[in-house]
Structure 1
Amino acid sequence: MLKRIGTYTLLTALGLLLGYLVFSKNDTQGKTTENLVAEKSGVWTCSMHPQVDGKENGKCPLCAMDLVFVKNEMADMSMNQFKMSESALALSNIQTVRVGSPEHHEATIHLSGLIATNRETDAIQTTLFDGRIDKLYPDYVGKKIVKGQEIGFIYSPELYLAQDKLITSASYRGTHEKLFNAARNTLGLWKMTDAQIDAVLESGKPMMNFPLYADVTGTVTEVLASEGKYYSQGDPLFKISDLRTVWAVLDSYESQLELLEVGQELEIRPKGLPNRAIKTKIDFIEPVMDKEKRTVSVRAVLDNRSGKLRPGTFIEATVSAKLPEDVIRIPKSAVLWTGKRSVVYKQPMDGKPVFEMVEVELGHMANGEYEVLDGLKNGDIVVAEGTFTVDAAAQLNGKKSMMSLEHVEGKNLEKTMDHPGHQNKDMPMTIGLEGDFAPFMDGYIDLKDALVATDANQAKDKAKALLVLFTNDNSILKNSHGEGFTHIKTHLQNIGRAKDITEQRYEFKYLSESLIALLPAISNSTNTLYVQHCDCADNFKGGSWVSYQENILNPYFGDAMLTCGRVEQVLAK
């Protein structure tokens, strides 16, 4: 009996020991797995005290309540994605849109260009022989000329000798008829009329000043000669054109060409006649593209019998076109440009404030929307308003942003981040949070105003004054670093060294781009800031700038196109 009890006791002890070992191992393994999940996917925290950050299940050290597991949303984010807080979204007024095919398959295309002379009626009045212009009646632009009209007098030693030869040959005309006829025909080749030749023979004296006659009818568009100077046969005296018809020459971008064709209706509005709409049709589309402007000229012939359409006048035109079906389109406000690259911010997690920059390939623009050729798909959500603010947040989070695509000698090179998910040492610092940024903005506005006034010397001085702020001990920019500020200083230096206003305006465009990218981080601006844009700047590549006033004063053209542009964004103080 005692032996049997001992056996049972031993078996029970062995069972307990085996159970302890098995369940202890499983419990340890469970905790390890749980810890790994917590580390990668979330944390254990207290409902009453969310500041508690635990790595495993247990009790709250403050109130002894059971901890609850909260999933970490950062675990589902990729390397280039970042999250913004709900409060930041609300303050920034960020708006998103789901992209897809357009509801309407008709669009209005906007073109711009110039009134030009009708080249089919253009002509150049030339001299028929060597000589000195003693009198030229059409000596100013706008003079109207009729074919056959006397336009001046020319003294030609060669013509004088030819007349004298004719007078001499007339004395032996009866015996040398052929010599006389040859001398007479020579004067005919110089367009002396029979009446003029007969007058010379009758008087027996050569004409000293020979009259010039117009070859064509039209209006003088350019005077090339002046009185008292000698000109050779064939030299131009003035240009002339029949201005009863003129050309509307419009620039079309590559992306717009597929929507344009000969015969489409155009509505043209000259800048000088804003209330007059001229309806016509596309007459010709040039087969060759301008290599510098990357545009193709689209032409229409306009009736100008009223004389109100003057060559050189800026014009804007609209044309209705059918859009291709099954295309993806996004609002123009969603796109950020970095030189030749175009990027948007996508919201990859529907309903969550997570964003990611993606590069897109764009097609034509119509109705304020771009066609997306690559980079997005139907159903994607992109930032439509507040794009600059999201870009600033990307910079501060050390993620890919517009400012991490560097502009170097016309090429765009993507900067490599130091470590995925970590702050790049070269990223722009937060500005305006601990100091007064107003002096720099005031200086920038002064520089902009100098370009509006087309004053290259003043623009140079303003740029140099701004550079001083980067070394002034009282300026918050003294210790500034990062890509954004490097670009700003570089473009200011280039403006100060530029040879002319054209170079200054080119550098000002990229200076403005760098500044605009930093604006969302400026929290203490004393003025409302207006981000404005002109599509015609930089050979129709477009250019933006910042202003304190809502009204447009264009720094890229000055008086030539003072009010050309629009307000793209308002940053309230």
Structure 2
Amino acid sequence: MNNIFPRLLVIGVGVLALIGLGIFIGVSLPSDPSDEMASPSTANSGSGEVLYWYDPMFPQQRFDQPGKSPFMDMELVPRFANGGESSTVLSIDPGAVQNLGMRTAPVTRGRLQRDAELSGVVVLNERRRNLVQTRAAAFVERVWPLAAGDLVQAGAPLVELLVPDWVAAQHELLALQASGQDALASAARERLLLLGMPAALLQEVERGNAVQNRYVVTAPITGVLQSVDVRPGMTLSAGQTLVIINGLETVWLEVAVPESLADSVRAEDTLVVEFAAFPGRNMQAQVSEVLPTLNAASRTLRARLELDNADGRLRPGFSARVLLAGQTEEDVLLVPTEAVLHTGRMTLVMVAEDEGHFRPQEVHTGGENGRQTIIVDGLREGEQVVVSGQFLLDSEAQLQGILPVAATSAATPSATPSATTVAEVVLHEADGRIEAIADGQVRLSHGDFPTLPMPGMTMSFTLASESVIAGLAVGDAVRIALRASDNGLVVERLTPLQTDNAPGVTP
């Protein structure tokens, strides 16, 4: 009897546990298996007709069937017809907007100030270069201790020469003068001048009535020696260069002007210059000329400023900062540069509409100066753009699948982008086959796009125009060229391929 009681107790506890487990399972499981399948759909995003499927991380691309996203390892999300507000407007609670400290700024019209800081370097004024040459054949008797880079004063001795032709002609001149043959003496004097003898040396010969066997060449100007190409004992021919001297009364400041600013610098423009050697001391200088040749390596032009250097303080090699101030010739639409977002596929801003509502807006931009950016297309004067917190708004818009408004739909007629201001459209290419054509769309089986994160599949695309499909039919093998737009990928070109070269596409 004592052994039976414990056994009955264990059996009773086990039965009670089984009953409790059955009750728990009955409560947890749905009464209808279809309820379990319906729950996720209900929680997803509502009901109604499905317009398309999309990847929340790449909402610009739409798909006509559910399935795995080709971009991310996740299921595509449906977009329903009764989604509520417009798919181009993002709604944010006004309190959240205030807490995030979002700031806006108006789109204004005016002239963009193009302030730029250029670099320059002081070089010798080559128009002040002097070549010292011998006018007759000579022998070098002496060279003063000089070297390239030395500073010499005007009249300083450089080289002592012996000119044989001058010696014989001087003896003839003095003999004719002594004999009183003035006419012949005048002819002899003229001959010496033609042989290159300086007039001052000839006068010294006549005054002293003595032949000058040596001739000392002196510096014609004060300047820096560029080269000294003579040594004692050399034999020189007529016209041979002895030394090169560059004057320092004026110097050039050569400024490197980027190709993009070529039209901003013109001759006679006044620029502000600050030398590193004299910090805090600015001077104004006028552009004497802009050289016509572009440096192919640095893609810069040279603007030349001629500076007075009578005191010799500006030395060749000095560096300088050159401030360039200018503005656009016409009024343009301007926004703060910080309001512009570059996604890699497009450029956009977040437009603040009524309270708590924001619109992602594609824009085409022109130049900028670091503070303001020119808007060529996409905005109107007076609209408010977000300049603080726009990155959060853009992320939220992408998560909700809100697509940016195309630039052309918001632009004024006069703001049509020109070829010089809008970047060239990038096309993504792959081989494929036409599966169906209907209502401005084409269904394609295509291979991998090397420039897109899109593997081979079969899907529908919007045609840029009906002419893209002209002459083609279902089943044709084609080379596909797509461009990214605010509404997804658009077929810009379909080029027929030989059937033998058609890709084997496995959607």
TM range (shorter): 0.3 to 0.5
Identify the structure with the greater helix proportion.
1
Higher relative contact order (CA 8 A, sep 6+): 2
Identify the structure with the greater strand proportion.
2
The structure with the larger Rg is: 2
